[in-house]
Chain A
Amino acid sequence: MRRSSPGSLRRAFQPWNDPNAKPLIEFRGVTKRFGSVTAVSEVSLSLYRREFFALLGPSGCGKTTLMRMLAGFEQPDAGEILLDGVDITAVPPHLRPVNMMFQSYALFPHLSVADNIAYGLKREGLPRAEIARRVAEMLALVKLDGLGKRRPDQLSGGQRQRVALARALAKRPKLLLLDEPMAALDRKLREATQFELMDLQSELGTTFMVVTHDQDEAMTMADRMAVMDHGGLVQIGPPDVIYEAPVNRYVAEFVGDINVLEGKVVAVEGDLVRIETALAGMVELDEEAPALSIGAAVLVGLRPEKIDLSHDEPAQSFNKVAGEIWDIGYLGDVTMIQVMVGGDSGRLIKVALTNRTRRAARPFAWEDRVWLSWDIEAGLVLPR
């Protein structure tokens, strides 16, 4: 099932939709096995110049292996990897115009910050003055001026991360790989660093590929992201498409929270789809060019923030269901309410309410009988 992106969230930068755009990186049917385990299976993927791409997936899904093959640390068992149209599959890592920022940072402990940044430049055989100039430039870029003489063990975690970034960027690679770049930072620093990284990327125009298991990180930074599972790419697209139009239940549940209801297609009229669900009766939703046949068994996905909660029964005749509040989780910005629908042995539906007023004014309490309702733009269809 293919979907196009919701119109209102389209961005100007979309080389992947341009048939004339030449990809910077191309994976063609790449497979990698470790013994009997297939880490990456038949992955084909194109990255474009200046793109910020995120590979998202749970640990063990093959995202790190895919990245390591791009850096040259692993050899694919089948398929080929192209950079600027040239096959680099057999090129050893030290000859690839690709640099990587390691999850552990892998800073050389016996070298100063400046020497760490200069390491790659020295290997290029650049003149001394040019190296010094570029090291100073890099230190300024990551806001570490004056710390060039320090050893890595004399720096904080956040500073070490910047040194690793500066070292990887110093050679001006065509592609920068970032392996879980924020994993070792605390939450506040992580948010700030995410935006700094995005600024840096648009300033330098380097193509970035980041591997992460953190969906917030991927969605914040990436132009496009790929969701991986069991060595394969499940869906590739801009974050809003992945979130609002996931191709299957795995993607829908991995990226964000979602309530899933089983149902059967009853009617398709233009973009309008009617689905009869066991739990919530008739559900109507708006789907762009749906390719659904009457009677098909499908899943209806409802994101928690797209559901309304009320004490009185809504006027609409569909897209509503009654239930009882079982749990209220106060998270500060939002409150997650779990509503039991379909009697005591029914199903818990998650509803997210934005806390627009102070706590005392909130109208819902445990064991309240409430109505859930949602717009026809809220639900999405997933294959069963």
Chain B
Amino acid sequence: MSAPAAFAARWSRLVVAVPYLWLLLFFLTPFAIVLRMAMSDADTALPPYAPHFEGFATLREFISKLDFENFRLLADDALYWDSYLQSLRLAGQTTLIALAIGYPLAYAMAAAPRHWRPVLLVLVVLPFWTSFLIRVYAWIGILRPEGLLDMVLGGLGLTSEPLRLLNTEAAVLIGMVYSYLPFMVLPLYATLEKLDRSLLEAAADLGATPVRAFLTVTLPLSLPGILAGAALVFIPSVGEFVIPDLLGGPDTVMIGKVLWNEFFSNRDWPLASTVAIVLLIVLVLPLALLQRARLA
């Protein structure tokens, strides 16, 4: 390797080091703290936990005291299992509904005349210009008995009595689909807009009906957009806390809410940390497998 090439290689390694350092500092370090917390015991002191590790001298003792007691507790209690499963199910439903609404939306946007597209994009992003919390509160006004929805449906003569949607699982789904829909539409639009129209013409030319052409050309080529959109909707939906808290009822127990309760109501930081770490594993493992499958 020539001297300038060696210099360039060393320099480029230095450049890549900066983002790695960033990730180490702001992602891995907090994660290590949470992990340490999860393997500690609850205490009523301030902070309300007892660290086992206070220096290198006690390293042996610290490691011997680390245990998976909290993880065992989590595995044994049906409450946690149920709320994980309910979170995954609701997030899955949210993702599917968002895909069902978002795909045609993105498709129509990509097919719209070129000068219309920026306007449509702004409309999709427009809700982000107001606070997320306020928008979820607004849904309370729409969904509550005698609320906007009941008024409209009743006024049209479609319903005779209030729907009683608020504080049900349906309300949580509505709220989550509404909140996360843009995250589905944007990556889908990006892939569909890039799609070469001559590919569809070629499919038609070779005898494919419009439906067949969609299934064999458009759909497989928009798969990266579908996967990206699904991940962007699914991941925050699983850990969602605000929407089930405001729109959900007593029977919607999502893991985000359990986490909140353990942290602030029960002041059991180690257990709360355990809940968080298990959630992370539940989310990261399938994503890592997906990534491997795509690279293979």
Contacts and interface: CB of A to CB of B under 8 A. Distances in A.
Interface in B197-246: 198-199, 201-210, 212-213, 216-217, 220-221
A324 B201 CA distance: 56
A123 B220 contact: no
Interface in A44-103: 71-73, 92-95, 98-100, 102
Contacts of A94: 204-210, 213
Interface in A169-219: 171
A362 B198 CA distance: 52
A71 B205 contact: yes
A93 B209 contact: no
A93 B217 contact: no
A123 B201 contact: no
A108 B201 contact: no
A124 interface: yes
Given A102-B198, A104-B198, A110 B204 contact: no
Residue picked from B196, B204, B207, most chain A C-beta under 10 Å: B207
Interface string B164-208: 000000000000000000000000000000001011011111111
A107 B199 CA distance: 7
B193 to A, nearest CB: 16
Contact of A102 (B201, B210, B213, B220): B201
Contacts of A289: none
B204 A108 contact: no
Contact of B205 (A100, A104, A107, A109): A100
A108 B205 CA distance: 13
Interface string A308-345: 00000000000000000000000000000000000000
Contact of A119 (B206, B209, B221): B206
B210 to A, nearest CB: 8
Contacts of B213: 94
B196 A104 contact: yes
A234 B203 CA distance: 33
B195 to A, nearest CB: 10
Contact of A167 (B206, B216, B220): B206
A106 interface: yes
A106 B201 contact: yes
Nearest to B203: A119
Nearest to A125: B207
A123 B198 contact: no
Nearest to B205: A100
A383 to B, nearest CB: 40
Contacts of A106: 196, 198-199, 201-202
A99 B201 CA distance: 11
Interface in A15-67: none
A120 interface: yes
Contact of B207 (A71, A102, A107, A171): A171
A102 B202 contact: yes
Contacts of B209: 94
Contact of B206 (A72, A92, A99, A109): A99
B199 A124 contact: no
B196 A123 contact: no
B204 A93 contact: yes
Contacts of A124: 207
A229 to B, nearest CB: 26
Contact of A108 (B210, B212, B217): B217
B198 A120 contact: no
Interface string A143-174: 00000000000000000000000011001000
A123 B202 contact: no
Nearest to B204: A93
Contacts of B216: 119
A114 to B, nearest CB: 14
Contacts of B212: 123
A110 B206 contact: no
Contacts of B201: 71, 73, 93, 100, 102, 106
Contacts of B208: 94, 119, 123
Nearest to B201: A73
B4 to A, nearest CB: 32
A108 B207 contact: no
A92 B196 CA distance: 20
Nearest to B223: A110
Interface string A344-364: 000000000000000000000
Residue picked from A72, A100, A123, A168, most chain B C-beta under 10 Å: A123
Interface of B: 196, 198-199, 201-210, 212-213, 216-217, 220-221
26 contacts: A71-B201, A72-B204, A72-B205, A94-B204, A94-B205, A94-B209, A94-B213, A99-B206, A102-B201, A102-B202, A104-B196, A106-B199, A108-B199, A108-B202, A110-B221, A119-B203, A119-B208, A119-B216, A120-B206, A120-B207, A123-B206, A123-B212, A124-B207, A167-B202, A168-B205, A171-B206
Interface of A: 71-73, 92-95, 98-100, 102, 104, 106-110, 119-120, 123-124, 167-168, 171
Given A102-B202, A109-B221, A123-B207, 11 more contacts: A71-B201, A94-B205, A94-B213, A95-B207, A99-B206, A106-B196, A119-B206, A119-B208, A119-B216, A168-B205, A171-B206
Of all A-B residue pairs in the complex, the 5 with the closest CB atoms, nearest first, are A120-B206, A123-B207, A106-B202, A106-B198, A93-B204
